[in-house]
Amino acid sequence: MFESIVVPVDLTDRNRDAVEMARELVSQEGRVFLLHVIETIPGIELVEERAFYAKLEKRALSHLEELSKLLGPKQGRFEAEVSYGPRAKTILEQARKLNADLIVVRSHRVGDETPSEG
């Protein structure tokens, strides 16, 4: 079991499996941290596009609230946050800041797909 798990999520429904996996892996006293990173536009300050970013953040917070329902009362606790910046760098910075034991990310299904001949 893990004490601190970060689950980076986007605004799609494809994150359900990652959130559910984190719920299974977190210790009873641990926490799952749902993180959505809004990729900033290089060269444009947040204050310059305040309305644009505020709309994205509102949508992200709503999505995080829905995803948090998957964690349920089983065990552990959860937190959710919207951050701004370069996605990969921000995820790693947050994981370090939270002293995360694990980062759970979703991926495409890996299977026994055979390349098509063509």
Model pLDDT, residue 107: 78
> What digits encode the pLDDT tens for the residues 45-90?
767 678 888 899 999 999 998 888 887 765 568 889 999 999 999 9
Instruction: Please state which CATH number belongs to domain 2-103.
Output: 3.40.50.620
Q: Is the pLDDT of residue 8 over 70?
A: yes
Give the containing element (helix H, strand E) for 97.
helix 87-97
User: Which of these ranges, 41-45, 89-93, 99-103, 108-112, has the smallest mean pLDDT?
Assistant: 108-112
Q: Is the confidence at residue 101, as pLDDT, over 90?
A: yes
pTM beyond 0.75, yes or no = yes
Q: What is the domain partition of the chain in residue ranges? A: 2-103
